[in-house]
Amino acid sequence: MKKLQSNLKYLGLFITIFLFSILFAVGSVMYDGFFSLQVLLNLLIDNAFLIITSIGMTFVLITGGIDLSVGAVVALTCMLSAHLLEKVHMSPFLVIPLMLIMGSLFGFVMGYLIQSFKMQPFIVTLAGMFMARGLCYVISIDTITISDPLYQAISQFRIPLPFDSFISIGVVIALVTLLAALYLANYTKFGRTVYAIGGSEQSALLMGLPVARTKILVYTLSGFCSGLTGIVFSFYMLSGYGLHCIGLEMDAIAAAVIGGTPLTGGIGFMTGTLFGVLIQGVIQTLIMFQGTLSSWWTRIAVAFLLCVFIILQRVILSKKESRKVLTNTAAKAS
């Protein structure tokens, strides 16, 4: 029993990895040409941007918060980079760091509002989303195509791998981000404080941890990830457009949740999030290979998974709570 309980935490993660393998195996059996390294790598290539945002989102979710602005901030980054590159003719070497700073700043302001004025994260980031989308349109209503040579070059560059396969620069950036996130989450005081806040903000305060600073930094980090996503996405799409990445925030949340990060905070796995993204990708690929099913099935399937995982997490939580009830009723008595 005890063993089972200790594994409950990882249950979501195991199920996700297992599910991913199953889905990939099913695809391989059913469709010719599915079982290849390149199909697997394409999952990464097509979802590199989602991996980066989802990692930022995972950090926010671990603290028990939420960031609905990510999709809009990505769109804003694309739009602003396109504008600066094409209309202002700024050097890409200046644009890229500038975009990262802008994303971080955007996150910082939201984090500051949330922490200092005890505003609900969900409302503040909603406002952030409106703001970022609106700013996109302030820059331009129409699509701006990026023709900058460096962006073009990066976009077309293929890093060759054995067995005639390749990946894009975006994948490299995503994987580096993943490694950095793993280090940050598991080997730094900042990362551990993030988990502690999600476990119990009250306890974290009593243990003398820098709660306020960490919470603001988490939103800043998410903003930074959105900025980075914006850059990777503009490599991928080579354009800026106000309607880019609508609903990306939901995909990112779904990736984190399916990867074993409950929305109640305190628990979260960066690797899980990677698989959360890959599952969405593999579903998409399956539907593509199948040919007759339409793309909206992806959405329904993802929502179904999301639902199952949320209910699963709720069940795990209530199991834990039933053990805590004893404590609480006794606590109430005194």
Partner 1 sequence: MNKTNPILKMRNITKTFPGVKALSGVNFQLYAGEIHALMGENGAGKSTLIKVLTGVEKLNSGEIFLEDQAILARTPSHAQELGISTVYQEVNLCTNLSVAENIFIGREPMKPGRIDWNTMEKRAEELLGRLNIRIDVTKTLDNYSVAIQQMVAIARALDVSAKVLILDEPTASLDASEVEKLFTVMRQLKQEGLGIIFVTHFLEQVYEVCDRITVLRNGALVGEYITADLPRVQLVAKMIGKDLAELSSCSKLDAADDAGSKEVYIAAHNMQKQGTIYPFDLDINKGEVLGLAGLLGSGRTEVARIIFGIDKPDDGEMLIQGQKKKVAEPIEAMKAGMAFCPENRKSEGIIANLTIRENIILALQAKMGWSKYISRKKQQEFAEKYIKILSISTPSSEQLVKNLSGGNQQKVILGRWLLTNPELLILDEPTRGIDVGTKAEIQKLILELASDGMAVMFISSELDEMLRCCSRMAVMRDKKKIAELAGNEVQESIVMQTIAGVH
Partner 2 sequence: MKKLKSFVGSREFWPILSLLLVLLFNFIFTKNFFVLEIKDGHLYGSLIDILNRAAPLMLISIGMTMVIAIKGIDISVGSVMAISGAVAATLIGGSLEMVNGANASGTAMPLPLVILIALGVSAILGMWNGILVSRIEIQPVVATLILLTAGRGIAQLLTQGQIITIYYTPYQYIGAGYLLGLPFSVYIVAAVFALTMYLTRKTALGLFIESIGINQVASRFSGIKVKSISFWIYAFCGVCAGLAGLIYSSNVKCADGNNAGLFIEMDAILAVALGGNSLDGGRFSLIGSLIGALFLQSITTTIYAIGVPPEITYVVKAVVVIVICLIQSEEFRKAALGKFARNRRELSEKAAVKS
User: What does the binding site for partner 2 look like in residue numbers (CB under 8 A)?
Assistant: 66, 113, 116-120, 122-124, 126-131, 133-138, 141, 242, 246, 250, 253-254, 263-264, 294-300, 302-304, 306-307, 310-311, 314, 318
In angstroms, give the least distance from the CB of 189 to partner 1.
6
In angstroms, give the least distance from the CB of 32 to partner 2.
26
Q: Which does 158 bind (CB under 5 to 8 A by kind): partner 1, partner 2, none?
A: none
Buried b (16+ CB within 10 A) or exposed e, 164-199: ebebbbbbebbbebbeebbebbeeeebbebbbbbbb
Q: Do β-strands 165-167 and 239-240 pair in parallel, antiparallel, or remain unpaired?
A: unpaired
What character string, x for contact with partner 1 (CB under 8 A) and - otherwise, covers 228-267? Answer: --------------------------------------xx
Check binding of 318 to partner 1 (CB under 8 A). no
Nearest to 25 by CA among 274, 277, 286: 286
Check binding of 294 to partner 1 (CB under 8 A). no
What character string, x for contact with partner 1 (CB under 8 A) and - otherwise, covers 184-203? Answer: --xxxx--xx-xx-xxx-xx
Q: Are 33 and 159 in contact (CB under 8 A)?
A: no
As beta bridge partners, residue 144 has 240
In angstroms, give the least distance from the CB of 45 to partner 2.
24
- Nearer to partner 1 by Cβ, of 314 and 320: the residue is 320
Q: Which does 138 bind (CB under 5 to 8 A by kind): partner 2, partner 1, none?
A: partner 2
Q: Which does 311 bind (CB under 5 to 8 A by kind): partner 2, partner 1, none?
A: partner 2
Cα separations in angstroms, 45 against 159, 169, 278, 281, 323: 11, 9, 11, 10, 45
**Which residue in this structure is represented by tokens 């894009």?**
168
Q: Which does 298 bind (CB under 5 to 8 A by kind): partner 2, partner 1, none?
A: partner 2
Q: Give the C-alpha separation, 203 to 185, whole Å.
A: 19
Q: Give the C-alpha separation, 181 to 184, whole Å.
A: 5
- Nearer to partner 1 by Cβ, of 172 and 184: the residue is 184
Of 145-153, 215-223, 300-308, 321-329, the window that binds partner 1 (rule: CB under 8 A) is 321-329
Q: Which of 6, 292, 294, 295 binds partner 1 (CB under 8 A)?
A: 6
3-class SS of residue 10: helix
Q: Which does 333 bind (CB under 5 to 8 A by kind): partner 1, partner 2, none?
A: partner 1
Instruction: Give the Cα-Cα-Cα angle 229, 281, 292 (nearest 5 degrees).
Output: 130
Cα separations in angstroms, 90 against 93, 120, 132: 8, 38, 21
Interface size with partner 1, residues (CB under 8 A) = 36
Residue 17 CB-half CA count within 13 A? 8
List contacts with partner 1 (CB under 8 A). Answer: 2, 5-6, 9, 183, 186-189, 192-193, 195-196, 198-200, 202-204, 206-209, 266-267, 320, 325-334
